[in-house]
Amino acid sequence: MHKVLVTRAVFEPVVERLRQHFEVDYHAVDAPLTPDELVKKLAGKAGALTMPTDRIDAPLLAACPQLRVVCNSAVGYNNFDLDACSRAGVMATNTPGVLDDTTADIAWSLILASARRIVAADKWLRAGHWEGWKFKDWLGTDVHHATLGILGMGRIGQAIARRAAGFSMRVIYHNRRRLAEASERECNATWLTKNELLRNADFLVLMLPYTPESHHAIGAAELALMKPTAHLFNVARGGIVDDAALIEALQARRIAGAGLDVFEAEPELDPRFFTLDNVVLTPHIGSASSATRMKMALLAADNLIAALSGDKPPNLLNAFID
């Protein structure tokens, strides 16, 4: 029977499903293993159900030559060195599809919270400052009939776009590859160049995968192209935005607001974020509903079972491995 590692606390039904097929080493703590601990735990293991905090790279793979598959419980996989995995003959998988709608929901939560200043108003109210209704208090920005821009129009970007119909919004987007005409019609979306997108969006949502090419895709130059009334949202990955440049733009009110679920050095944040009243901050909770996290972990388990049963995993990332 193959031995596998579950690197972090998940739901018991997921562990029980794996135990029907494997000898499972379950690290039942909701905290990441250090790199050294991960290597030690992977000794003798054929596979692992991993989390985005687990770095799978060439040194680890060299220390774990028996490893055959690593299955991320996430759609993002920038914690995997895919080239190193392929060279080592290790399959790598992720969990696309099952978290699209939940992540789209969090994007809209941030849009509405930022536009209508919900977090700052809540904090002000709880502090006991409210003495009565005033006509010009807490004026925000209308979402309805505004222009929604999406940079990165994959499955999640399209789910975000479809929700905009309920707000009668104009939807514009930029993607390296333009969507098929039928998909554009379904999303009621118009393709623009990146600079055109930045200049026209009232609410700009980033849904890019994190790669060396997308590092600081939004920096000082890009922020300077945006409207002073615009709001920026990142629910993809930290590092896509130059956090320091964004803070400076928010401090100077060169853009009106922002909503961020991910950060460059998370869980560490630039402390200047905490001094701003025009940014909404959440701790990387884009997929954090009970139902969705269960689906993600079960899909990761299914990938692991398929790979070690001699089948092709349903979500193989380095597909040139047989």
Q: Which two tokens stand for residue 92?
A: 């790598």
Is 284 marked active-site? yes
Choosing from 2, 17, 174, 237, which is the catalytic residue? 237
Rounded to whole angstroms, the Cα distance separating 201 from 299 reads 35
Is 27 marked active-site? no
Q: Which two tokens stand for residue 208?
A: 């890019």
Is 174 marked active-site? no
Rounded to whole angstroms, the Cα distance separating 65 from 87 reads 11
Question: Where do we find the tokens 């597909």?
Answer: 319
Rounded to whole angstroms, the Cα distance separating 85 from 64 reads 11
Is-cis flag, bond preceding 209, omega within 30? Answer: no
**DSSP class of residue 49?**
E
> What φ, ψ does residue 118 adopt, rounded to 5°?
-65, -45
> What φ, ψ does residue 72 adopt, rounded to 5°?
-75, 135
Q: Which two tokens stand for residue 299?
A: 């899909």
The 8 Å CB, 24+ separation contacts for 53-59 are: 53/8, 53/79, 54/7, 54/8, 54/79, 55/79, 56/80, 56/81, 56/84, 56/85, 56/90, 56/92, 57/81, 57/84, 58/84, 58/87, 58/88
Q: Which residues are catalytic?
A: 237, 266, 284
